[in-house]
Amino acid sequence: MKKTLGWGFAILFLVMTTGKLFAEEPAKSPLQISGFVDTYYSFNFNRPDSNLNGVSNFDFYHNAFSISMAEIVFSKAADPVGFRIDLDFGTTTDFVHCGVVSCPGGATEEPYKNIQQAYVTWATPIGLTLDMGKFVTHMGFEVIESKDNWNCTRGLLFCCAIPYYHAGLRANYAISDMLFINGYVLNGWNNVVENNNGKTLGAQIGIVPIKPVTLLLNWVGPERSTAVGFDDRQVYDAIAIFNASDTLSFAANYDYGTQDPIGGGDSMKWSGIAAYARLGFDPYALAVRVESVTDDDGVMFGTVDNSVQEVTLTGEVKVSNSLLVRAEVRHDKADKDIFEDEGGAVTDTQTRAVLGVVYSF
Protein backbone atom coordinates (compact mmCIF):
# COMPACT_ATOMS: atom_id res chain seq x y z
CA MET A 1 0.00 0.00 0.00
CA LYS A 2 2.78 2.40 0.93
CA LYS A 3 4.60 1.51 -2.30
CA THR A 4 1.45 2.21 -4.33
CA LEU A 5 0.84 5.48 -2.50
CA GLY A 6 4.45 6.52 -3.10
CA TRP A 7 4.14 5.94 -6.83
CA GLY A 8 0.88 7.88 -6.81
CA PHE A 9 2.52 10.94 -5.22
CA ALA A 10 5.42 10.70 -7.71
CA ILE A 11 3.10 10.61 -10.71
CA LEU A 12 1.02 13.49 -9.29
CA PHE A 13 4.17 15.58 -8.73
CA LEU A 14 5.40 14.86 -12.27
CA VAL A 15 2.05 15.84 -13.80
CA MET A 16 1.87 19.06 -11.78
CA THR A 17 5.44 20.22 -12.56
CA THR A 18 5.20 19.23 -16.24
CA GLY A 19 1.93 21.07 -16.59
CA LYS A 20 3.47 24.13 -14.96
CA LEU A 21 6.40 24.08 -17.38
CA PHE A 22 4.13 23.81 -20.41
CA ALA A 23 1.83 26.53 -19.04
CA GLU A 24 4.75 28.94 -18.59
CA GLU A 25 6.17 28.43 -22.10
CA PRO A 26 5.04 31.44 -24.19
CA ALA A 27 3.16 30.75 -27.39
CA LYS A 28 5.13 31.62 -30.52
CA SER A 29 3.65 34.67 -32.21
CA PRO A 30 2.89 34.39 -35.95
CA LEU A 31 3.98 38.03 -36.31
CA GLN A 32 7.69 38.39 -37.10
CA ILE A 33 9.55 41.67 -36.49
CA SER A 34 13.03 42.48 -37.79
CA GLY A 35 15.01 45.45 -39.01
CA PHE A 36 18.34 47.23 -39.26
CA VAL A 37 20.16 50.56 -39.09
CA ASP A 38 22.60 51.26 -41.96
CA THR A 39 25.28 53.93 -41.39
CA TYR A 40 28.40 54.90 -43.35
CA TYR A 41 31.32 57.28 -43.76
CA SER A 42 32.40 58.08 -47.31
CA PHE A 43 35.47 59.96 -48.54
CA ASN A 44 35.66 61.03 -52.18
CA PHE A 45 39.24 61.69 -53.33
CA ASN A 46 37.92 64.19 -55.90
CA ARG A 47 36.86 66.34 -52.92
CA PRO A 48 33.69 67.70 -54.63
CA ASP A 49 32.66 71.16 -53.46
CA SER A 50 29.03 70.04 -53.18
CA ASN A 51 30.07 67.21 -50.80
CA LEU A 52 27.99 64.86 -52.97
CA ASN A 53 29.35 61.72 -54.62
CA GLY A 54 28.60 61.28 -58.31
CA VAL A 55 26.71 58.28 -59.74
CA SER A 56 26.10 56.76 -56.30
CA ASN A 57 23.39 54.66 -54.65
CA PHE A 58 23.20 55.21 -51.68
CA ASP A 59 26.46 56.59 -50.27
CA PHE A 60 25.56 60.15 -51.22
CA TYR A 61 27.68 62.34 -48.95
CA HIS A 62 31.44 62.97 -49.12
CA ASN A 63 33.48 63.38 -45.93
CA ALA A 64 30.49 62.87 -43.66
CA PHE A 65 29.13 60.37 -41.18
CA SER A 66 25.67 59.55 -42.54
CA ILE A 67 22.62 57.37 -41.99
CA SER A 68 21.68 55.65 -45.22
CA MET A 69 18.53 53.95 -43.99
CA ALA A 70 16.71 52.56 -40.99
CA GLU A 71 14.20 49.78 -41.62
CA ILE A 72 11.68 47.80 -39.60
CA VAL A 73 9.81 44.83 -41.08
CA PHE A 74 6.53 43.29 -39.91
CA SER A 75 5.53 40.02 -41.55
CA LYS A 76 3.36 36.95 -41.18
CA ALA A 77 3.94 33.82 -43.23
CA ALA A 78 1.08 32.84 -45.54
CA ASP A 79 -0.91 30.07 -43.84
CA PRO A 80 -2.65 30.37 -46.20
CA VAL A 81 -2.86 34.19 -45.95
CA GLY A 82 -0.10 36.50 -44.74
CA PHE A 83 1.44 39.91 -45.27
CA ARG A 84 4.64 41.93 -45.22
CA ILE A 85 5.29 45.60 -44.44
CA ASP A 86 8.76 47.19 -44.72
CA LEU A 87 8.95 50.69 -43.24
CA ASP A 88 12.05 52.68 -44.31
CA PHE A 89 13.49 56.01 -43.22
CA GLY A 90 16.46 58.02 -44.48
CA THR A 91 18.02 59.49 -47.62
CA THR A 92 17.97 56.12 -49.37
CA THR A 93 14.20 55.82 -49.31
CA ASP A 94 13.82 59.46 -50.45
CA PHE A 95 16.11 58.85 -53.42
CA VAL A 96 14.37 55.61 -54.37
CA HIS A 97 11.03 57.40 -54.61
CA CYS A 98 11.96 60.89 -55.81
CA GLY A 99 15.45 60.69 -57.34
CA VAL A 100 16.81 63.21 -54.80
CA VAL A 101 18.11 62.84 -51.24
CA SER A 102 15.09 64.72 -49.83
CA CYS A 103 11.64 64.21 -51.35
CA PRO A 104 9.99 67.60 -52.00
CA GLY A 105 6.52 68.12 -50.58
CA GLY A 106 3.88 67.43 -53.17
CA ALA A 107 5.95 64.88 -55.10
CA THR A 108 3.69 62.16 -56.50
CA GLU A 109 5.45 59.28 -54.74
CA GLU A 110 6.31 61.22 -51.55
CA PRO A 111 3.33 59.83 -49.54
CA TYR A 112 4.61 56.28 -50.14
CA LYS A 113 8.32 56.85 -49.57
CA ASN A 114 8.42 55.28 -46.09
CA ILE A 115 6.67 52.13 -47.32
CA GLN A 116 9.28 50.16 -49.21
CA GLN A 117 7.00 47.13 -49.36
CA ALA A 118 3.42 46.48 -48.29
CA TYR A 119 1.62 43.49 -49.73
CA VAL A 120 -0.85 40.74 -48.87
CA THR A 121 0.04 37.12 -49.69
CA TRP A 122 -2.27 34.21 -50.46
CA ALA A 123 -0.83 30.71 -50.80
CA THR A 124 -3.56 29.09 -52.89
CA PRO A 125 -4.45 25.39 -52.63
CA ILE A 126 -3.10 24.74 -56.15
CA GLY A 127 0.49 25.75 -55.27
CA LEU A 128 0.25 29.27 -56.75
CA THR A 129 1.32 32.10 -54.42
CA LEU A 130 -0.15 35.56 -55.05
CA ASP A 131 1.13 38.89 -53.68
CA MET A 132 -0.76 42.15 -54.15
CA GLY A 133 0.49 45.59 -53.15
CA LYS A 134 3.88 47.29 -53.39
CA PHE A 135 7.12 45.30 -53.59
CA VAL A 136 10.74 45.71 -54.67
CA THR A 137 11.67 44.85 -58.24
CA HIS A 138 12.61 41.36 -59.36
CA MET A 139 15.37 42.80 -61.57
CA GLY A 140 19.08 42.74 -60.75
CA PHE A 141 21.52 40.87 -58.51
CA GLU A 142 21.78 43.66 -55.93
CA VAL A 143 19.08 44.95 -53.57
CA ILE A 144 18.29 48.14 -51.65
CA GLU A 145 19.46 46.74 -48.29
CA SER A 146 23.27 46.93 -48.18
CA LYS A 147 23.54 44.11 -45.62
CA ASP A 148 22.16 41.66 -48.19
CA ASN A 149 24.71 42.58 -50.89
CA TRP A 150 28.32 41.46 -51.23
CA ASN A 151 29.56 45.07 -51.47
CA CYS A 152 28.76 48.19 -49.49
CA THR A 153 28.07 50.57 -52.40
CA ARG A 154 25.61 49.68 -55.20
CA GLY A 155 26.75 48.97 -58.72
CA LEU A 156 26.13 50.91 -61.92
CA LEU A 157 23.47 48.45 -63.09
CA PHE A 158 21.54 48.77 -59.83
CA CYS A 159 21.92 52.54 -59.91
CA CYS A 160 20.88 53.32 -63.43
CA ALA A 161 19.74 50.33 -65.52
CA ILE A 162 16.73 48.86 -63.68
CA PRO A 163 13.76 49.97 -61.54
CA TYR A 164 13.68 49.97 -57.73
CA TYR A 165 10.07 48.98 -57.02
CA HIS A 166 6.60 48.32 -58.41
CA ALA A 167 2.97 48.24 -57.36
CA GLY A 168 0.70 45.52 -58.65
CA LEU A 169 0.09 41.79 -58.61
CA ARG A 170 2.80 39.11 -58.42
CA ALA A 171 2.25 35.40 -58.98
CA ASN A 172 4.78 32.68 -58.11
CA TYR A 173 4.62 29.00 -59.02
CA ALA A 174 7.29 26.42 -58.19
CA ILE A 175 7.15 23.74 -60.86
CA SER A 176 9.86 21.70 -59.14
CA ASP A 177 12.94 22.14 -56.97
CA MET A 178 14.80 23.02 -60.17
CA LEU A 179 12.34 25.44 -61.79
CA PHE A 180 10.02 28.27 -60.75
CA ILE A 181 8.23 31.07 -62.60
CA ASN A 182 6.93 34.49 -61.56
CA GLY A 183 4.49 36.70 -63.43
CA TYR A 184 3.73 40.38 -62.82
CA VAL A 185 0.99 42.89 -63.69
CA LEU A 186 2.23 46.32 -62.60
CA ASN A 187 1.29 49.99 -62.60
CA GLY A 188 4.73 50.76 -64.01
CA TRP A 189 8.33 51.49 -63.08
CA ASN A 190 9.01 53.15 -59.70
CA ASN A 191 5.45 54.29 -59.14
CA VAL A 192 2.57 53.44 -56.84
CA VAL A 193 0.33 56.11 -58.38
CA GLU A 194 -0.67 55.06 -61.90
CA ASN A 195 0.30 57.70 -64.49
CA ASN A 196 -1.30 56.28 -67.66
CA ASN A 197 -4.00 53.88 -68.83
CA GLY A 198 -1.58 51.08 -69.70
CA LYS A 199 -0.12 48.34 -67.54
CA THR A 200 3.46 47.10 -67.34
CA LEU A 201 4.11 43.36 -67.35
CA GLY A 202 7.00 41.36 -65.93
CA ALA A 203 8.31 37.82 -65.82
CA GLN A 204 10.95 35.81 -63.98
CA ILE A 205 12.19 32.29 -64.60
CA GLY A 206 14.40 30.62 -62.00
CA ILE A 207 16.44 27.57 -62.98
CA VAL A 208 18.68 25.39 -60.80
CA PRO A 209 20.37 23.09 -63.35
CA ILE A 210 22.72 21.70 -60.69
CA LYS A 211 22.77 22.33 -56.97
CA PRO A 212 25.59 24.96 -56.85
CA VAL A 213 24.20 27.00 -59.79
CA THR A 214 21.17 29.32 -59.95
CA LEU A 215 20.04 31.11 -63.11
CA LEU A 216 17.47 33.94 -63.16
CA LEU A 217 15.98 35.38 -66.35
CA ASN A 218 13.96 38.59 -65.86
CA TRP A 219 11.95 40.97 -68.03
CA VAL A 220 9.85 44.06 -67.42
CA GLY A 221 7.95 46.17 -69.95
CA PRO A 222 6.53 47.91 -71.80
CA GLU A 223 6.53 51.15 -69.79
CA ARG A 224 5.51 54.66 -70.90
CA SER A 225 6.24 58.09 -69.40
CA THR A 226 4.83 61.25 -70.94
CA ALA A 227 6.69 63.36 -68.36
CA VAL A 228 10.12 62.04 -69.41
CA GLY A 229 9.02 61.54 -73.01
CA PHE A 230 9.53 57.86 -73.79
CA ASP A 231 7.42 54.92 -74.84
CA ASP A 232 7.77 51.12 -74.90
CA ARG A 233 10.59 50.91 -72.33
CA GLN A 234 11.72 47.33 -71.72
CA VAL A 235 14.59 45.78 -69.79
CA TYR A 236 15.97 42.25 -70.01
CA ASP A 237 17.99 41.03 -67.05
CA ALA A 238 20.01 37.81 -66.57
CA ILE A 239 21.70 36.62 -63.36
CA ALA A 240 23.96 33.62 -62.76
CA ILE A 241 25.14 32.55 -59.29
CA PHE A 242 27.71 29.81 -58.68
CA ASN A 243 28.49 28.66 -55.14
CA ALA A 244 31.81 26.92 -55.79
CA SER A 245 32.19 25.93 -52.13
CA ASP A 246 31.01 26.90 -48.66
CA THR A 247 33.48 29.78 -48.74
CA LEU A 248 33.74 30.86 -52.40
CA SER A 249 30.93 32.24 -54.59
CA PHE A 250 30.68 33.94 -57.98
CA ALA A 251 27.91 35.87 -59.72
CA ALA A 252 27.28 37.72 -62.96
CA ASN A 253 24.53 40.14 -63.98
CA TYR A 254 23.70 41.37 -67.51
CA ASP A 255 21.13 44.06 -68.43
CA TYR A 256 19.86 45.30 -71.77
CA GLY A 257 17.28 48.07 -72.03
CA THR A 258 15.47 49.95 -74.81
CA GLN A 259 12.94 52.76 -75.05
CA ASP A 260 11.41 54.80 -77.89
CA PRO A 261 11.05 58.60 -77.81
CA ILE A 262 7.43 59.76 -77.85
CA GLY A 263 6.74 61.35 -81.20
CA GLY A 264 9.22 59.17 -83.08
CA GLY A 265 12.95 58.81 -83.42
CA ASP A 266 15.54 56.11 -83.06
CA SER A 267 15.21 53.65 -80.21
CA MET A 268 17.42 54.47 -77.20
CA LYS A 269 19.50 51.65 -75.73
CA TRP A 270 21.64 50.91 -72.69
CA SER A 271 23.41 47.77 -71.50
CA GLY A 272 26.00 46.51 -69.05
CA ILE A 273 27.53 43.56 -67.27
CA ALA A 274 28.76 43.07 -63.71
CA ALA A 275 30.90 40.26 -62.32
CA TYR A 276 31.18 39.43 -58.61
CA ALA A 277 33.31 37.17 -56.43
CA ARG A 278 33.14 36.61 -52.66
CA LEU A 279 35.48 34.68 -50.38
CA GLY A 280 34.24 34.21 -46.85
CA PHE A 281 35.73 32.64 -43.74
CA ASP A 282 33.29 33.51 -40.98
CA PRO A 283 33.42 36.12 -39.52
CA TYR A 284 35.54 37.61 -42.33
CA ALA A 285 34.82 38.05 -46.04
CA LEU A 286 36.39 39.69 -49.08
CA ALA A 287 34.35 40.64 -52.16
CA VAL A 288 35.17 42.21 -55.52
CA ARG A 289 32.86 43.68 -58.18
CA VAL A 290 33.83 44.67 -61.73
CA GLU A 291 31.36 46.44 -64.04
CA SER A 292 31.22 47.88 -67.53
CA VAL A 293 28.15 49.67 -68.92
CA THR A 294 27.38 51.35 -72.25
CA ASP A 295 25.05 54.34 -72.44
CA ASP A 296 25.13 55.51 -76.06
CA ASP A 297 21.87 57.48 -75.83
CA GLY A 298 22.20 59.12 -72.40
CA VAL A 299 19.51 57.13 -70.61
CA MET A 300 21.66 56.06 -67.64
CA PHE A 301 23.99 59.04 -67.09
CA GLY A 302 22.56 61.83 -69.23
CA THR A 303 25.53 61.95 -71.64
CA VAL A 304 25.47 60.34 -75.09
CA ASP A 305 28.17 58.00 -76.41
CA ASN A 306 29.34 57.27 -72.89
CA SER A 307 30.56 54.13 -71.20
CA VAL A 308 31.50 53.71 -67.54
CA GLN A 309 33.55 51.08 -65.74
CA GLU A 310 34.04 50.53 -62.04
CA VAL A 311 35.91 48.17 -59.75
CA THR A 312 35.10 47.73 -56.06
CA LEU A 313 36.96 45.87 -53.32
CA THR A 314 35.15 45.21 -50.04
CA GLY A 315 36.39 43.67 -46.81
CA GLU A 316 33.95 42.80 -44.04
CA VAL A 317 33.87 41.42 -40.52
CA LYS A 318 30.88 40.30 -38.49
CA VAL A 319 31.60 41.67 -35.04
CA SER A 320 28.57 39.70 -33.84
CA ASN A 321 25.48 38.12 -35.35
CA SER A 322 23.93 41.58 -35.30
CA LEU A 323 26.81 43.92 -36.24
CA LEU A 324 28.38 44.02 -39.71
CA VAL A 325 31.36 46.29 -40.48
CA ARG A 326 32.68 46.84 -44.03
CA ALA A 327 35.60 48.79 -45.47
CA GLU A 328 35.51 49.46 -49.21
CA VAL A 329 37.49 51.15 -51.97
CA ARG A 330 35.83 51.92 -55.31
CA HIS A 331 37.14 53.46 -58.55
CA ASP A 332 34.91 54.66 -61.42
CA LYS A 333 36.13 55.60 -64.92
CA ALA A 334 33.95 57.13 -67.68
CA ASP A 335 34.49 58.12 -71.31
CA LYS A 336 32.95 61.53 -70.57
CA ASP A 337 33.48 63.99 -67.71
CA ILE A 338 30.56 63.18 -65.42
CA PHE A 339 32.15 63.25 -61.93
CA GLU A 340 32.48 66.42 -59.89
CA ASP A 341 36.04 67.46 -59.04
CA GLU A 342 37.52 69.94 -56.58
CA GLY A 343 36.93 73.58 -57.42
CA GLY A 344 33.73 72.96 -59.38
CA ALA A 345 35.44 71.19 -62.28
CA VAL A 346 34.36 67.85 -63.75
CA THR A 347 36.48 64.84 -64.55
CA ASP A 348 36.15 61.33 -65.95
CA THR A 349 37.27 59.45 -62.81
CA GLN A 350 36.17 59.12 -59.21
CA THR A 351 37.66 57.14 -56.31
CA ARG A 352 36.05 56.77 -52.93
CA ALA A 353 36.64 54.96 -49.65
CA VAL A 354 33.65 53.87 -47.60
CA LEU A 355 33.22 52.55 -44.08
CA GLY A 356 29.83 50.92 -43.56
CA VAL A 357 28.35 49.79 -40.24
CA VAL A 358 25.02 47.94 -40.11
CA TYR A 359 23.19 46.72 -37.01
CA SER A 360 20.43 44.18 -37.59
CA PHE A 361 17.85 42.71 -35.26
Write out 279-311 in H/E/C secondary structure. EEECCEEEEEEEEEEEEEECCCCCCEEEEEEEE
Question: How many structural domains are present in the chain?
Answer: 1
* Closest alpha carbon to 289 in 275, 278, 279: 275
The verdict on residue 125 lying in a domain is yes
The verdict on residue 252 lying in a domain is yes
What pLDDT score was predicted for residue 195?
84
**Quick one: DSSP state of residue 231?**
E
The verdict on residue 4 lying in a domain is no
The verdict on residue 21 lying in a domain is no
**Quick one: DSSP state of residue 344?**
G
Which residues lie closer than 8 Å to 265 by C-beta, 6 or more apart? none
CB 151 within 8 A of CB 100: no
The verdict on residue 298 lying in a domain is yes
pLDDT (tens digit, 0 to 9) for every residue of the chain, 361 residues total? 434 434 443 433 433 444 444 445 556 679 999 999 999 999 999 999 999 999 999 999 999 999 999 999 999 999 999 999 999 999 999 999 999 999 998 899 999 999 999 999 999 999 999 999 999 999 999 999 999 999 999 999 999 999 999 999 999 999 999 999 999 999 999 999 988 888 999 999 999 999 999 999 999 999 888 878 889 999 999 999 999 999 999 999 999 999 999 888 899 999 999 999 999 999 999 999 999 999 999 999 999 999 999 999 999 999 999 999 999 999 999 999 999 999 989 999 999 999 999 999 9
Q: What is the CATH number of the domain that holds 229?
A: 2.40.160.10
The verdict on residue 11 lying in a domain is no
Domain that holds residue 231: 30-360
The verdict on residue 106 lying in a domain is yes
Which residues lie closer than 8 Å to 47 by C-beta, 6 or more apart? 62, 63, 341, 342
- Number of neighbouring beta carbons within 10 Å of residue 19: 10
b/e per residue, 281-312, with b = 16+ CB within 10 A?
Answer: eeeebebebebbbbbebebbbebeebbbebeb
Please tell me the distance from the alpha carbon of residue 312 to that of residue 85, in angstroms, as a whole number.
Answer: 32
What pLDDT score was predicted for residue 157?
98
What pLDDT score was predicted for residue 228?
81
**Quick one: DSSP state of residue 164?**
S
The verdict on residue 209 lying in a domain is yes
